[in-house]
Each structure stands twice: as structure tokens, then as C-alpha cells.
């Protein structure tokens, strides 16, 4: 088993660290849906005891990301498209509402940060660094919420967004998908700069609803993940 591992910070407990590492790898599809995962293997990979691993497994199972079969083992949960659709709906409603505030005007500092973020996204298009692109994509939308003091709203979205994120990661593998997403991000920044809410609403609607149309293709390409 190969997973991405990052250093534990002083602010996190061992249990929180194990949970964060596992969730990141599930979201980014490093741990594939349907595959078995063992406490022993994870504890060895992370250099921790089995107790925090067991606690992380229980927490992730409650979130629907793992399922535990007594006497048989623990498995990565498959993607639940009903949860994906609900998360998409929540995100579209809230992000559209926030953009109505944003397009009335934000500080130049945030426009500069959005422009710099898009430039980094374009660099990822060259290097094909999907993990880095995912981080930048998330940061891009977070900046929009931050610009009008709505970070708590972004956190609400993030709490229900896990299944949605897994589908987004898969969609990046489609030809020209990232290029298309970056173009939409650029269009959104231009609409914000122009204080054009009508254009911003059109762009964000198309941006977020893309996954509705892609789900059939994703299920055909990755049938064992659903």
C-alpha cells in the first residue's frame, strides 16, 4: 500500500494526525473505493500504535468513508452519488449567495490573491500535478468566501463535501478538464472584478453543475468505485 504521508504538527494529537492522513488519502483517491485497509498496515506506515488507528477507523466509518465488516475487515467505502448530489446542491446555493455579496466589491488584495492562485493552477496544468491542483482549486474558492468574511460558511460546505471531492478528483482525469476549470475560474475573477453578478452566477452555476453531467461517464470509466 502506498499513501501520501505528511509530518505531524505539534498542534495535533496522534489520533487526529492518523485521521487527517487517512481522510486526505481517501478524498484524493490514493486509497481506492472498495479496497481493504488494515490497522496493522496503517500503524506500521505511520509509525504509531494500533489504538489511534482504530479510533480513526471508527470516526471515518461514522462519516461513511470506511465500512467495517465483523470478522472480515475494514474497507474503503464506495462513492455515494446521493451524497455527492446533496453536497453539490449545498455548495451551489451557498456559493451563489456569497457571490452576490462579492460582486458588490472586494479589496484588491483578494483579487490579487485570486489572480496569483490561477497562475499557479496553470503551472499545475503543465506539470500535471493533480494533488497540487486540487489544493489550489479549494484555496481559490476559499479566498472568495474569505473576501467577504464568510469563512464559517466555507467550513459548513467543507464538512459535507467529502464525497463531492472524491468525484472531483476523478473528473480531473478527463481530457482538458483542468484547462476548462481554470478558464472558468478566470471568468469568475473577471466577473468579480467587473462587479457583474449576472455573469458570476452563470459561471459558478456551470462550474458546479459540471459534475451532474460527468457522473455517467465517471461510472462507466470507474465502475468499481461506485
Condensed to tens digits (0 to 9), the pLDDT of residues 39-64 reads: 999 999 999 999 999 999 999 999 99
Kindly give, in sequence order, each residue whose CB lies less than 8 Å from that of residue 209, ignoring residues fewer than 6 positions away: 88, 92
How far, CA to CA in Å, does 39 sit from each of 13, 124, 211? 18, 34, 34
What is the CATH topology of the domain spanning 81-225?
A: 1.20.120
Task: Tell me the range of 104-113, 120-129, 173-182, 208-217 where mean pLDDT is highest.
Answer: 104-113
Condensed to tens digits (0 to 9), the pLDDT of residues 1-47 reads: 889 898 899 889 999 999 999 999 999 999 999 999 999 999 999 99
Which pLDDT score is estimated for 73? 93
Are the C-beta atoms of residues 142 and 55 closer than 8 Å to each other? no
* Percent of the chain's residues with pLDDT above 70: 100
Q: pLDDT-based confidence at 216, cuts 50/70/90?
A: confident
Condensed to tens digits (0 to 9), the pLDDT of residues 141-199 reads: 999 999 999 999 999 999 999 999 999 999 998 888 999 999 999 999 999 999 999 99
Q: In whole numbers, what is the pLDDT of the chain averaged over residues?
A: 94
CATH class of the region 14-76: mainly alpha
What ranges do the domains of the chain cover? 14-76, 81-225
Could you tell me the pTM of the whole model?
0.90
Which pLDDT score is estimated for 11? 87
Task: Inform me whether the pLDDT recorded for 109 exceeds 90.
Answer: yes
Read off the pLDDT of each residue in 212-221 and give the average, rounded to a whole number.
Answer: 90
DSSP 15-49: HHHHHHHHHHHHHTTSS-TT-EE-HHHHHHHHT--
Take residue 215 and report the three cell numbers written for it.
Answer: 457522473
Which pLDDT score is estimated for 145? 98
Task: Inform me whether the pLDDT recorded for 70 exceeds 90.
Answer: no
Q: pLDDT-based confidence at 218, cuts 50/70/90?
A: very high
Task: Inform me whether the pLDDT recorded for 71 exceeds 90.
Answer: no
Amino acid at each position: 500500500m502506498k499513501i501520501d504521508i505528511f509530518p505531524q504538527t505539534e498542534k495535533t494529537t496522534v489520533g487526529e494526525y492518523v485521521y487527517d492522513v487517512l481522510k486526505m488519502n481517501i478524498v484524493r483517491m490514493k486509497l481506492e473505493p472498495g479496497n481493504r485497509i488494515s490497522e496493522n498496515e496503517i500503524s506500521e506506515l505511520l509509525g504509531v500504535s494500533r489504538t489511534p488507528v482504530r479510533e480513526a477507523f471508527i470516526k471515518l466509518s461514522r462519516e461513511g468513508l470506511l465500512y467495517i465488516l465483523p470478522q472480515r475487515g475494514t474497507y474503503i467505502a464506495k462513492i455515494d452519488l446521493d451524497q455527492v448530489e446533496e453536497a453539490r446542491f449545498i455548495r451551489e446555493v451557498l456559493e451563489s449567495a456569497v457571490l452576490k455579496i462579492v460582486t458588490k466589491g472586494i479589496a484588491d488584495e483578494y483579487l490579487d490573491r485570486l489572480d496569483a492562485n490561477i497562475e499557479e493552477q496553470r503551472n499545475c496544468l503543465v506539470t500535471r500535478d493533480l494533488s497540487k491542483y486540487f489544493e489550489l482549486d479549494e484555496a481559490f474558492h476559499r479566498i472568495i468566501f474569505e473576501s467577504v468574511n464568510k469563512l464559517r460558511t466555507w467550513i459548513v460546505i467543507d464538512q459535507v463535501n467529502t464525497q463531492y471531492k472524491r468525484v472531483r478528483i476523478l473528473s480531473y482525469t478527463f481530457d482538458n478538464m483542468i484547462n476548462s476549470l481554470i478558464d472558468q475560474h478566470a471568468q469568475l475573477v473577471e466577473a468579480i472584478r467587473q462587479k457583474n453578478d449576472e455573469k458570476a452566477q452563470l459561471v459558478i452555476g456551470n462550474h458546479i453543475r459540471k459534475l451532474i453531467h460527468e457522473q455517467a461517464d465517471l461510472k462507466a470509466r470507474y465502475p468499481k468505485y461506485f
